[in-house]
Structure 1
């Protein structure tokens, strides 16, 4: 196998043979390809695309590049959820323990920040001691004892995807439907899932800004996953504003703890979390309808059972046992907090969600290069949702920064990302389509 010949073939728009795809991915996993070759392959796929057969071959090759997990001794349905990425999207952190509290086993393999979007693993790393890459035995133990475990890819699980994922992040090849499909599903196939639900985001803060493109991606994911034997459905959700009222790492973790304690009722975030919990329960056969599934999820949340599952998961993975009770003891705060003030009175009518994600990176809360270290403390909190009436000088958010200069710059940037109008806006529904 000559890597540059495979790259050339795809660059010229030819359909790759499954054997060539397997050889290329095997070389990638073994460390025999340079970052330049990986980036060139990703860019060729971005420009020329892939057929459904090529995507299936790529997905299976990446899933087979490492171990496949087995759950024969767990007598619960093995289920998971994945998001294509957004700003203020911390749904997985609450959804996994809610689903586990309702009777599912959720072995969730998550990723780091990609492009302007936040990463579940980066948020979890704001918890002191939390092991995001446990060995297979500990991962299995936590899923069995807690009901869920949210971890990152180990070197033994879809290793080819881990390296390709990092290169895509810094080569402007994130928003490729074949690469997104293979990246998401290779991890899910390797995790031994029986069912999967997908959160495919559309809007100015998503990788797929166009709703039609998001539906194409969702269709690709659902068809490839079902074809590989995993019962899968997808919901198209809105990403024209941050989903949570926080964007960052520790600030989103605080938001998660508040949610599990019942503090985020009647929000867009709650709507999405409960909808996906219901979808997971219906797809796995535990609930007969979405209404029944949502009711089960609400009870798991209001009773405190979901919070107990989350606390048990954190403790078993090395984090503090009393995180839920004492978040301020463990989640570091940025030294500077500065309110962002509305420049005029009116309605918050629109925002640049992608710009908000980029502003988090500018604060140090994301990466420009794969090896960058991030500052988990920084970001934005208390973000007001679109459709809120504000008065001039009223806070619309709070900046968390490492110093005064960064806080001043971030506050100005955030204010510029919002449009304040005289008329109340008509907002896009947070959930639009099921596939």
Structure 2
């Protein structure tokens, strides 16, 4: 292990055998944390070649169980987002592509910090079970076309150990480590095609487009080496997606999309990502045709019906679709009013996410309880005009007064004379 640490410290390429030795030894507990920490820091400073990243991903992928989805007929396609504020896209996307005939096995995660987790949002639906067994998962994808669940059993255990170490050693941001972490879990979940939604902007993990593009390229290279269909879209996180931040609120907005309504940006991104998924599943000839298919399933109600079917299959109360009062409701609403006139020029997106977390809508550390009812509803987006005293946002809280959160939300929405609306999709990387 010392030789391997020194080799990477000096900028040399590690062999597949060396990387396998590290991952199997660390997973088994024969390599101590202090040596793994040294190697992670060497990787942080010296980077890794595409072949090294591919070998690292493969070793982490095979450190535990790999799902066998061969019993599910057809091409299995999935989508992964690097996370952002108000990013509820998976929730309308999964039933929409399933209604169009795609098989969509989706293993998702929980929220930590200012980004929300898909599983937490779904658990706002009374009774919804996100802990399916492997067989339940396979059966539901086969019959319903989609299922969203937590990681089952022993998927990529090396990643769990290494991620926990990265979190306390200042090595989280290393692109080889991020990309191998994401792709080891996704490849272990048995998908044939993967559409990546890599966020960029002040509310994203990758703040600059340059860093986001570097991560996207690394992810796509791993997918190609693994032999799956893969494409990455760099999408905007300089403002929250849609108008809602918070678990039950985001479920309501997701339902609105499936009712062929809802915010334009959430609808557009759902259709864009879904179109690429249909292409990967060989269910359309081009993006225009794929989008037309998806728009038809929104318009005729079949996507909404598929969502109800999915909720029922996972033990939830599908009545929330027609009666949103069945979702958890906050005790109080608190207005945030503008103190000046102007145009919304920008937002401190991560600050809005943190404000929702402080209300109880997110976790500061693993294991924190979540209040599904609380959150924030925005009433303005970048480029919208605002009058003095106009409503900028509504806070949903358990307390009648939250001046701390009011101040955070107010300060996060920036006004000025003119604004440039950021594009929703910045780049497509194949």
**TM value normalised by structure 2:** 0.92
1:376-391 matches, cutoff 5 A: 376-391=372-387
Aligned to 2:201: 203
Alignment partner for residue 254 of structure 2, among 240, 247, 256?
A: 256
User: 1:29: how far off?
Assistant: 4.3
Q: Spell out, residue by residue over 1:37-85, the C-alpha distance to the aligned partner (whole angstroms, 9 max, x if none).
A: 7666555543443221221122112211222222333332210111111
2:389 corresponds to 1:400: no
Cα separation, 2, equivalents of 1:333 and 1:366: 16
2:350 corresponds to 1:354: yes
3-state DSSP class of the match of 1:416?
helix
Structure 1: gaps of 5 or more residues: none
User: 1:115: how far off?
Assistant: 3.9
Q: Contact 1:170–1:368 (CA<8 Å) still a contact in 2?
A: no
Cα separation, 2, equivalents of 1:211 and 1:71: 35
Cα separation, 1, equivalents of 2:305 and 2:365: 37
Question: Greater shift after overlay, 76-85 or 314-323?
Answer: 314-323
Question: Greater shift after overlay, 313-322 or 162-171?
Answer: 162-171
1:225-264 matches, cutoff 5 A: 225-264=223-262
User: 1:284: how far off?
Assistant: 2.3
Q: Spell out, residue by residue over 1:225-282, the C-alpha distance to the aligned partner (whole angstroms, 9 max, x if none).
A: 01110011111111110012111222212211222122215x1111111111111112
2:414 corresponds to 1:416: no
Aligned to 2:220: 222
User: 1:166: how far off?
Assistant: 5.0
Alignment partner for residue 371 of structure 1, among 367, 375, 380?
A: 367
Aligned to 1:311: 308
2:325 corresponds to 1:325: no
Cα separation, 2, equivalents of 1:320 and 1:32: 47
Cα separation, 1, equivalents of 2:348 and 2:405: 14
2:281 corresponds to 1:287: no
Cα separation, 1, equivalents of 2:246 and 2:371: 9
Q: Contact 1:101–1:305 (CA<8 Å) still a contact in 2?
A: yes
Q: Contact 1:246–1:383 (CA<8 Å) still a contact in 2?
A: no
**TM value normalised by structure 1:** 0.91
User: 1:88: how far off?
Assistant: 0.8
How large is the RMSD of aligned CA atoms in angstroms? 2.4
Structure 2: gaps of 5 or more residues: none
Alignment partner for residue 109 of structure 2, among 108, 111, 123?
A: 111
Q: Spell out, residue by residue over 1:172-210, the C-alpha distance to the aligned partner (whole angstroms, 9 max, x if none).
A: 544331122112211221122111111111111111111
User: 1:363: how far off?
Assistant: 2.2
Aligned positions, number: 429
2:71 corresponds to 1:73: yes
User: 1:6: how far off?
Assistant: 5.6
Q: Contact 1:170–1:369 (CA<8 Å) still a contact in 2?
A: no
User: 1:87: how far off?
Assistant: 1.0
Cα separation, 1, equivalents of 2:323 and 2:29: 43
Q: Contact 2:343–2:386 (CA<8 Å) still a contact in 1?
A: yes
Q: Contact 2:113–2:357 (CA<8 Å) still a contact in 1?
A: no
CA gap of 1:141–1:199, structure 2 versus 1, over 3 A, is same
2:420 corresponds to 1:430: no
User: 1:144: how far off?
Assistant: 0.9
Alignment partner for residue 139 of structure 1, among 124, 137, 140?
A: 137
CA gap of 1:342–1:366, structure 2 versus 1, over 3 A, is same
CA gap of 1:11–1:288, structure 2 versus 1, over 3 A, is same
User: 1:94: how far off?
Assistant: 1.0
3-state DSSP class of the match of 2:152?
coil
Aligned to 1:340: 336
Cα separation, 1, equivalents of 2:397 and 2:265: 26
Aligned to 1:57: 55
